Amino acid sequence: MSTELGKLWAVGIGPGDSELVTLKAARVIGDADVVAFHCARHGRSVALSVAEPFLRDGQIHERLTYPVTTETTDHPAGYRGALDDFYTSASEVLADHLRAGRSVALLAEGDPLFYSSYMHMHKRLAHRFDTEIIPGVTSVSASAMAVGTPLVEGEETLTVLPGTMPADELIRRLRDGDAVAIMKLGRTFPKVLAALETAGVADRAWYVERASTSAQRVMPVRDVDPVTVPYFSMIVVPGPLNNPVPEPSEPTMGEVVVVGLGPGADRWTTPEVHGELARATDIVGYKTYLARVSPRPGQRLHPSDNRVESERACMALDLAKNGARVVVVSSGDPGVFAMAAAVVEVAAEPAWSDVPVRVVPGMTAANAVAAAVGAPLGHDYAVISLSDRLKSWDVIERRLHSAIDADMVIAIYNPGSESRRWQVSALKDILAQRLPADRPIVLGRDVGGPEESLVVTTVDSFDPAVVDMRTLLIIGSSTTTVVERTAGRAVFTSRRYDSAE
User: What is 269-297 written as a DSSP string?
Assistant: S-HHHHHHHHH-SEEEEEHHHHTT--PPT
Query: Which tens digits make up the pLDDT trace of 109-140?
Result: 999 999 999 999 999 999 999 999 999 999 99
Instruction: Flag whether pLDDT at 497 surpasses 50.
Output: yes
Residue 249 binned pLDDT confidence (cut-offs 50, 70, 90): low
Average of per-residue pLDDT across 294-323: 87
Q: What is the pLDDT of residues 396-446, one digit of tens each?
A: 999 999 999 999 999 999 997 777 779 999 999 999 999 999 999 999 998
The chain-wide mean pLDDT, for the chain, equals 91
Q: Is 101 left (phi over 0), alpha (psi -120 to 50) or beta?
A: left
Q: Phi and psi dihedrals of 414, rounded to 5? A: 45, 55
Q: Quick count: other Cβ atoms within 10 Å of Cβ 463?
A: 11
Element (H, E) at 255: strand 255-260
| pLDDT at position 23 over 50 | yes
The pLDDT score that the predictor gives to residue 501 is 45
> pLDDT tens digits, residue range 328-368?
999 999 999 999 999 999 999 999 999 999 999 999 999 99
Q: How far is CA 16 from CA 9, 139, 146, 256, in A?
A: 19, 9, 13, 44
Residues pairing with 471 in the sheet: 445
* Contact between residue 256 and residue 326 where contact means Cβ atoms under 8 Å apart: yes
What are the pLDDT digits (tens) for 372-402?
A: 999 999 999 999 999 988 889 999 999 999 9
Q: b/e per residue, 113-146, with b = 16+ CB within 10 A?
A: bbbbbbbbbbebbeeebebebbbbbbbbbbbbbb
Nearest Cα residue to 354 out of 254, 471, 230, 209: 254
Q: Which residue has the higher pLDDT, 161 or 251?
A: 161
Q: What is the pLDDT of residue 44?
A: 80
Confidence of residue 294 (pLDDT cuts 50, 70, 90): confident
Note the pLDDT of residue 247: 56
Q: Rounded to two decimals, what is the model's pTM?
A: 0.66
- Report the distance separating Cα 280 and Cα 277, nearest Å: 5
- pLDDT score recorded for residue 69: 63
Q: How far apart are CA 334 and CA 341, in angstroms?
A: 8
Q: 154 and 148 in contact (C-beta within 8 Å)?
A: no
pLDDT tens digits for range 464-478: 989 988 899 999 999
What pLDDT score does 90 carry?
94
CB neighbour class for 428 (10 Å; exposed up to 12, middle 13-18, buried from 19): middle
Please write down the long-range contacts of 79-85, taking CB distance under 8 Å and 24 or more positions apart: 83/120
State how far the Cα of 27 lies from the Cα of 55, in Å rounded to an integer: 10
Q: For residue range 56-113, list pLDDT tens digits in order.
A: 999 999 999 988 665 566 677 677 788 889 999 999 999 999 999 999 999 999 999 9
Cβ count within 10 A of residue 228 = 10
Q: Which one has a higher pLDDT value, 271 or 261?
A: 261
What is the pLDDT at residue 175?
A: 85
Question: Domains in the chain and their CATH numbers?
Answer: 8-137 (3.40.1010.10), 140-237 (3.30.950.10), 255-360 (3.40.1010.10), 366-493 (3.30.950.10)
pLDDT score for 389: 82
Give the Cα separation of 457 and 475 in Å (integer): 10
Model confidence over 183-211: pLDDT tens digits? 999 999 999 999 999 888 898 999 999 99
